[in-house]
Structure 1
Amino acid sequence: MAGHGTDAAARTFVNLDIPPSLLTYYQEAAERQ
């Protein structure tokens, strides 16, 4: 489930043009949970 949520979040961040460093931070945070 976490994988799907992270993937959806990744698409959202890309659409919002968020810096890759911030995207990586959220991806790592999601993996820790």
Structure 2
Amino acid sequence: AALSYADLAVAVVDEAERPRRHRTRVSVFH
């Protein structure tokens, strides 16, 4: 996987700060 820990941390924070119904991007965990 080409995912760095920094990218993962940013993705997690982004998920936490954003309402789930507002998600428009594909999940990075797919």
TM-score by length of 2: 0.50
Of Structure 1 and Structure 2, the greater helix share is in: 1
Larger radius of gyration: 2
Q: TM-score, normalised by structure 1?
A: 0.47
